[in-house]
Structure 1
Amino acid sequence: MITVPAGRVTLSDRRTQTSWPVEVASFHLAAVPTTQAQYAAVTGARPSAARGEHLPVECVSWPDTVRYCNALSRREGLTPAYRIGDGTGRGLGGETGDDGDDTVVVAWNPAADGYRLPTEAEWEHACRAGTTGPRYGPLDEIAWYRDNSAERSHEVGGRRPNEWGLYDLLGNVWEWCWDVYDPEVYGTYRVLRGGGWFDEHWSCRASVRRRSHPTYQIDDLGFRVARSLA
């Protein structure tokens, strides 16, 4: 885990032509996306379309990622960051995300020391690492994307990291974030960040926001874990 310093980031949305500043507290973020070996060690599952211990895990839904975070927290003796409700979600009062025919209600406890997904403001702040351009370095040096990936995922950590020691924030696999994209328009759709191995160069930029239904599972969508500072 890398300790990301506090800072300020301006998020923007091309669809609505709006931008908004966000203050980000210091937090911990995994240096690389969660690997298939890590996911299997915690959950016993191997959902990915491609196979390789050091490849990023993919074909995981948003509920899969929050369950993984809780399971990893318990395994390491930490307080889980999320309370996950059943189909009724009674008494949790958190965010909702469809999971098959049921509704999963997830409440985040920001005071917990366990693993969680980064917010999209945390993600972009970490990705930029103090830079202001569209990327933290030349794309071919920092990311696996359509022009250099041979249309497949690659082992994590194989490209140059940003200034804070974080790898693969652009390219390889998209990453789930905590946030709902725009609940008034898209309901429970969650934010995706970073671009993937099949994307053109314009999708692999620090500011690019995408969205998907929380049950979405595809071979270029994974995640990385974060933790709040004690």
Structure 2
Amino acid sequence: MVAIPPGQVTLSDRRTRRTWSVELAPYYLAVFPVTQTLYAQVVGEWPSAVRGGHLPVESVSWWDAIRFCNAFSRREGLVPAYRIREDVGQVEWNASAEGYRLPTEAEWERACRAGTVGPRYGPIDEIAWYRANSAERMHEVGGKSPNQWGLCDMLGNVWDWCWDTYDAEVYGAYKVLRGGGWFDEHWSCRASVRRRSHPNFQVDDVGFRLARSARL
């Protein structure tokens, strides 16, 4: 995992034309999305539509990602970040826990930008698998150049689930997705793009990557 320094990030939403700034404490983010091999080692399942050990795991819901985080934390001897209440469909995040978790969308965007200010952290064909260069299929993690902080596949290949609820008043429980995928056009593979979906949604271009809170 890469240590991400504290700082501020400004997020925006094209639908509402709203912008807002978030101050972030230091945290860690995985270099790659969770692979199918790691997912199978922890959960014992291969849910992906296309199988390959070094491919990102996909066809996983937000709930699947949350459960994986807790399972992986327990396997590594860490305090799980989430208290899952299956009976009422709720998850509580223990922000003081050291276990694995999903990044917030503010953490995701700050890590994606890695100090840059443009729509992407480099030329798109060098950093991302997207519709124009993917041959309309997913690719193994790490096949494109990392950003300035050493993170790969932040744009393209698979979308990343984030912790946040998108807009509870309008979309209810829908969660935030970031990053763009292998079947998306170039305009979806930008650091600021926000997508939403139901937490039970599963599709072959949505995966996730792990974060951890840093101890101060």
Deviation, structure 1 residue 78? 0.2
Residue of 149, 154, 157 corresponding to 1:172: 157
User: 2:39 is paired with a residue of what secondary structure?
Assistant: helix
Equivalenced residues, count: 215
User: 2:11 is paired with a residue of what secondary structure?
Assistant: strand
Question: 2:91, 2:117 → 1: CA distance?
Answer: 33
Residue of 130, 133, 144 corresponding to 1:148: 133
Letter in 1 for 2:63: P
User: Stretches of 4+ moved more than 2 A in 1?
Assistant: none
1:12 corresponds to which residue? 12
Identical aligned residues as a percent: 71
User: 2:10 is paired with a residue of what secondary structure?
Assistant: strand
User: 1:211 is paired with a residue of what secondary structure?
Assistant: strand
Question: 2:25, 2:183 → 1: CA distance?
Answer: 32
Gaps of 5+ in 2: none
Question: 1:41, 1:209 → 2: CA distance?
Answer: 31
Query: TM-score under structure 1 normalisation?
Result: 0.93
1:45 corresponds to which residue? 45
User: 2:23 is paired with a residue of what secondary structure?
Assistant: strand
User: What pairs up with 1:95-134 in 2 under 5 angstroms?
Assistant: 104-134=89-119
Letter in 2 for 1:72: F
Question: 2:200, 2:67 → 1: CA distance?
Answer: 13
User: 1:67 is paired with a residue of what secondary structure?
Assistant: helix
1:64 corresponds to which residue? 64
1:94 corresponds to which residue? none
Deviation, structure 1 residue 181? 0.1
Letter in 2 for 1:218: V
Give RMSD over aligned pairs: 0.5
User: What pairs up with 1:181-200 in 2 under 5 angstroms?
Assistant: 181-200=166-185
Deviation, structure 1 residue 145? 0.2
Letter in 1 for 2:27: F
2:81 corresponds to which residue? 81
User: 1:116 is paired with a residue of what secondary structure?
Assistant: coil
User: 1:178 is paired with a residue of what secondary structure?
Assistant: strand
- Cα deviation, 1:186-221, whole Å, max 9, x if unaligned, reads 000000000000000000000000000001000000
Letter in 2 for 1:208: V
Gaps of 5+ in 1: 89-103
Question: 1:20, 1:195 → 2: CA distance?
Answer: 21
Question: 2:17, 2:160 → 1: CA distance?
Answer: 23
2:3 corresponds to which residue? 3
1:208 aligns with 2:193: yes
1:135 corresponds to which residue? 120
Question: 1:148, 1:154 → 2: CA distance?
Answer: 11
Between 4-13 and 190-199, the greater mean CA deviation after superposition:
4-13
Letter in 2 for 1:182: D
- Cα deviation, 1:132-166, whole Å, max 9, x if unaligned, reads 00000000000000000000110001100000000
Deviation, structure 1 residue 25? 1.1
User: 2:73 is paired with a residue of what secondary structure?
Assistant: helix
Residue of 200, 204, 210 corresponding to 1:219: 204
Deviation, structure 1 residue 7? 1.1
User: 1:192 is paired with a residue of what secondary structure?
Assistant: strand
Question: 1:16, 1:204 → 2: CA distance?
Answer: 20
User: 1:227 is paired with a residue of what secondary structure?
Assistant: strand
